[in-house]
Chains A and B, each alone.
Chain A
């Protein structure tokens, strides 16, 4: 049943140096486009659904993915701001970014929490659980990838 749950292959931040930091705008856009389509393919390949279940599930999945995507817009904007100002970052800017990052994480977790009963309405409990398990595994891979690519704060 499980086809491929390795990390999507096409993730990378090809960072262009600027006077104050690095420009990652295009790379983030590309990363997100690739991840979104690969994620849906991996979930489809690993979650066995009947035709009736699939008809109900995928529209809900698209709503969920769009909502998670909105949360991730906030992260994109944060990474862009950070990368662009990395060399000249002040303590106050770092503080502001930490707060935005903390808010983003809470909001992302709350969105996932909100969708559990919604997905459960259209799938049996074990299939809903498998979906969230695979989805979480893919988000975790993305988290690691992003966390590893972002340059550390210069002291």
Chain B
């Protein structure tokens, strides 16, 4: 049943140096486009749905993915700000970015929690659990990729 749960292969930040940091905008846009499409393909290949279930599930999934994406938009905006100002970052800017990042983490968790009953309305509990298990695994891989690529705060 499980086809491919490795990390999507096309993620990378080819960072362009600037006077104050690095420019990651184009790279982030590319990463996100690739990840979104690959994630849906991997889910489709690994969550076995009947035709009736699939008809109900995918529109709900698209709403959930769009909701999660809004938080990731903010998350990538924080990374972009940070990367652009990395060499000249002040203490105040650094802590402000950590707060924004942390707020996004809470919102992401709340959004995922909010969508559990909505997904369970359209597919049985065990299929919903499998969906969230694979979905979470993919987000964890994406988070790890991003966390590893973002340069550490210069002291």
Q: Is the CB of A11 closer than 8 A to any CB of chain B? A: no
Tell me, rounded to whole Å, the shortest Cβ–Cβ distance linking A57 to chain B.
Answer: 14
Number of CB contacts from chain A to chain B under 8 A: 135
Q: Is the CB of A37 closer than 8 A to any CB of chain B? A: no
Tell me, rounded to whole Å, the shortest Cβ–Cβ distance linking B47 to chain A.
Answer: 9
A124, B91: Cβ atoms closer than 8 Å:
yes
For chain B, the count of residues having a C-beta within 8 Å of the partner chain is 50
Given contacts A103-B113, A105-B113, A108-B109, contact A141 B144 (CB under 8 A): yes
Contact partner, A125, options B5, B94, B106, B129, Cβ 8 Å: B94
In the bound assembly, the distance between CA atoms of A109 and B95 in angstroms comes to 17
Interface size grouping (class) on chain A = 35 or more
Stretch at the interface among A14-22, A24-32, A110-118: A110-118
B102, A109: Cβ atoms closer than 8 Å:
yes
B102, A113: Cβ atoms closer than 8 Å:
yes
Interface residues of B (CB under 8 A from A): 1-2, 5, 46, 48, 89-95, 97-99, 101-103, 105-106, 108-110, 112-113, 116, 120, 124-130, 132-134, 136-137, 140-141, 143-144, 147-148, 150, 152-155
Top-9 shortest CB links A-B: A125-B91, A91-B125, A102-B113, A129-B94, A125-B95, A94-B129, A94-B125, A95-B125, A105-B109
